[in-house]
Amino acid sequence: MFEKLKLTEQKYEEISQKLTDMEVISDNKLYTSLMKEYKNLTPIVDKYREYVKCKKTMEDAKELLDEAGGDREMKELAQLEFDESRETLETLGEELKILLLPKDPNDDKNVIIEIRGGAGGEEASLFAGSLFRMYTMYAEARRWKTEILNANETELGGFKEVSFSIEGEGAYSRFKYESGVHRVQRVPETESQGRIHTSTVTVAVLAEADEVELEINPTDLKIDVFRASGAGGQHINKTESAVRITHLPTGVVVECQDERSQHKNKDKAMKILRSRLYEALLEEQNDKIASERKSQVGTGNRSERIRTYNFPESRVTDHRIGLTLYRLEYILNGNLDEVIDALATADQAAKLASQFTREDA
């Protein structure tokens, strides 16, 4: 590990020098790429230098301890400094292991989130609206920008489906654990008998793909236009502004009717299509690398039931890590950090365990 850290520090210094080179500065693409790499390496190198400094302090304390002889006071001070340094060194070592874990290349990307009502009819659609509100409130608290890309609303104010983008540094790293089936248990707003119903909503979190990362051949696309429709007369368009794009090689179909402009709807539909195709490409790559199987926490399998929201008990349970919190309303108001932090920690632990297993083998 420490040989790797020395090489990382060396690479960091080389990049630092390159960033002062006028030729590099004038090449916007190269400069941006190096700055991104420099930024990613900075926390690792800073922590490594802290480790080296602490190790030197511990070694000096050990040397002083050996030389103290019969000087009791000096011996006690040296022992105290040695013990403190050793404890700090262990902590720094664990932190370095986590920092050295392979970083998800999508972590810094913006996201596209797709929420669809599943089993439960209107009640599922209403809860899809609750999840949409929860995610947008979380994004707003982080000062991230949210934009609806496509929405199919119901008469009661829910969503049969809604797609929206969230722009902000690290958005994917926080939302990636939300993919899967979300289950709600409550007395439906549409039910007068007071019986508890169980409904489901599916959530898909896609890393937003850049045009550079994924080129789409225009000849592979079938584009149809039609009149938009939805709940409420104000949503029904009298012109053919809605757009449906079919990617012929894969059969992926995307619709967008949220804007009154056909051009804007097409742009938004392409944004969703590009991210769906990018996700499919990543899944294919991951399937090919058996030794790099994703941990259970990070899979984001859409068919996997990941969380239950129980209204009678005001309980939220994440089934992947066995986390239960009795603060349902607080969480639905966009306070997701406690849940996401727990998932991220479990994901890191699984990756560390996997890495040690491979190294031992």
pLDDT digits (tens, 9 = 90+) for 288-331: 444 434 444 444 445 678 999 999 999 999 999 999 999 999 99
Query: Which residue do the tokens 């292991």 mark?
Result: 97
- Given this model, what pLDDT does residue 311 score? 92
Residue 5: pLDDT above 50?
A: yes
pLDDT recorded at residue 354: 67
Q: What percent of the chain has pLDDT over 90?
A: 28
The candidate with the shortest Cα–Cα distance to 74, out of 87, 61, 85, 83, is 61
Is residue 223 within 8 Å of residue 266, measured between CB atoms? yes
Rounded Cα gap, residues 291 and 276, in angstroms: 25
Both tokens of residue 272? 């969703």
Q: Is the pLDDT of residue 213 over 80?
A: no
Position 296 scores a pLDDT of 41
Q: Report yes or no: 243 and 269 within 8 Å, Cβ to Cβ.
A: yes
Candidates 70, 218, 80, 189; CA nearest to 126 is 189
Give this prediction's pTM.
Answer: 0.67
| Mean pLDDT over the full length of the chain | 82
pLDDT of residue 22 exceeding 60: yes
The edge-to-edge listing of strands for the beta sheet with 180-186 is: 145-153, 159-167, 111-117, 197-207, 180-186, 305-310, 315-318, 323-325
**Residues 85-109: pLDDT tens digits?**
999 999 998 888 878 777 777 888 8
pLDDT tens across 235-290, in order?
A: 445 556 788 888 888 888 888 887 777 888 888 888 888 888 887 777 765 554 44
**Between these two residues, 210 and 141, which has the higher pLDDT value?**
141
pLDDT in tens, 171-202: 999 999 999 999 999 887 666 667 888 889 99
Structure tokens at 308: 């239950």
Least confident of 58-62, 138-142, 264-268: 264-268
Nearest to 173 by CA among 213, 144, 197: 144
Which residues, in sequence order, are bridge partners of residue 316? 309, 325
Q: What is the mean pLDDT of residues 109-115?
A: 90
Distance between CA atoms of 287 and 289, rounded to whole angstroms?
6
Among 278, 241, 244, smallest CA distance to 261 is for: 241
Mean pLDDT of 112-128: 88
Contact 201, 182 (CB under 8 A): yes
